[in-house]
């Protein structure tokens, strides 16, 4: 259970540069250093184009760093793995539209050729956790956007990964649904003690969810500019004084970009 000790880092990002090639190379990340501790809820916050999704793709193993290293549990990340499941904002692309809710939730288990009877039990449990059990026979196109994101959570829970990597997963949802998703995700996080790395450009979202927030510069040559520990009691209340103080602090920090660019 050492993995769940928040002091123990499970990700090490050391001196990472990421340059996208082509005739006019684009330096997306420049000298990024980051540690992610086991069991923590980390938000990567920044404006569009700050390279936060690139950083998440490096953690997932979809991209390799140009220089520097990304390590998971002490070993370099060489490719995607089901220990580190990624969530996508575009649920239509991320789910299989031709499979039912139930089939989508069991996808990871089927890929491992898991025992169908056991899988069915796991899938049922995971769908119940995210409140989709009544919709198990529907297709993704027949449920709402919020439900599709919960289905992505159920699908990930079913393979029991160590880390959830979430790339603005609720960015396309309306404000009310998004708040509900925050509650649902928070419950999942509390009950499973997963490590979550959550990318967002929404300060309130970051403050609602995170133990720790890292703020990135606008690109090119993005780096982590500031790290903020969020010591507010949970569940977070946007009307709280401490919440407001941190909000102002972060907003001021983000607005510095506008001066420079």
Question: Which residues sit at the interface with other proteins, rule CB under 8 A?
Answer: 60-62, 79-82, 84-86, 88, 90, 93-99, 107-108, 111-112, 139, 141, 155-156, 159, 165
Task: Please state the closest distance from residue 87 (CB atom) to other proteins, in A.
Answer: 9
The residue among 33 and 112 lying less far from other proteins, judged by its C-beta, is 112
The residue among 56 and 213 lying less far from other proteins, judged by its C-beta, is 56
DSSP per position, 246-261: HHHHHHHHHHHHHHH-
Cis peptide before 40 (omega within 30 of 0): no
Task: Please state the closest distance from residue 227 (CB atom) to other proteins, in A.
Answer: 26
Task: Please state the closest distance from residue 247 (CB atom) to other proteins, in A.
Answer: 31
Q: Which of 65, 4, 63, 8 is nearest to 33 (CA)?
A: 65
Residues 6+ apart with CB under 8 A from 103: 96
| 104-107: Cβ within 8 A, 24+ apart | 104/140, 104/151, 104/155, 105/132, 105/136, 105/151, 105/154, 105/155, 105/158, 106/158, 107/155
Residues 185, 186, 188, 190: what is their CA dihedral angle, to the nearest 10 degrees?
A: 160
The residue among 81 and 177 lying less far from other proteins, judged by its C-beta, is 81
The residue among 12 and 84 lying less far from other proteins, judged by its C-beta, is 84
The residue among 13 and 215 lying less far from other proteins, judged by its C-beta, is 13
């Amino acid at each position: 259970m050492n993995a769940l000790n928040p002091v123990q880092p499970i990700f090490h990002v050391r001196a990472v540069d990421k340059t996208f090639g082509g005739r006019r190379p684009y330096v997306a990340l420049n000298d990024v250093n980051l540690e992610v501790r086991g069991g923590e809820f980390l938000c990567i916050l920044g404006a569009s184009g700050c390279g936060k999704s690139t950083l998440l793709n490096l953690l997932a193993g979809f991209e390799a760093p140009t220089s520097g290293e990304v390590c998971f549990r002490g070993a370099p990340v060489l490719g995607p793995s089901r220990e580190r499941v990624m969530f996508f904002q575009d649920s239509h692309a991320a789910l299989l539209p031709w499979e039912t809710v139930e089939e989508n939730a069991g996808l990871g288990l089927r890929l491992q050729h898991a025992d169908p009877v056991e899988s069915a039990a796991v899938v049922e449990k995971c769908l119940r956790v995210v409140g989709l059990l009544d919709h198990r026979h529907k297709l993704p196109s027949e449920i709402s956007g919020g439900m599709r994101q919960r289905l992505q959570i159920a699908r990930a829970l079913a393979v029991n990964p160590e880390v959830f990597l979430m790339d603005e997963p609720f960015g396309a949802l309306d404000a009310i649904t998004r708040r509900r998703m925050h509650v649902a995700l928070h419950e999942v996080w509390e009950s499973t003690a997963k490590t979550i790395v959550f990318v967002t450009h929404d300060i309130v979202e970051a403050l609602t969810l995170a133990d720790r927030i890292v703020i990135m510069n606008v690109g090119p040559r993005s780096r982590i500019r500031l790290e903020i520990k969020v010591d507010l009691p949970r569940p977070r209340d946007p009307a709280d004084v401490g919440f407001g103080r941190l909000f102002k602090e972060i907003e001021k920090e983000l607005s510095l970009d506008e001066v420079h660019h």
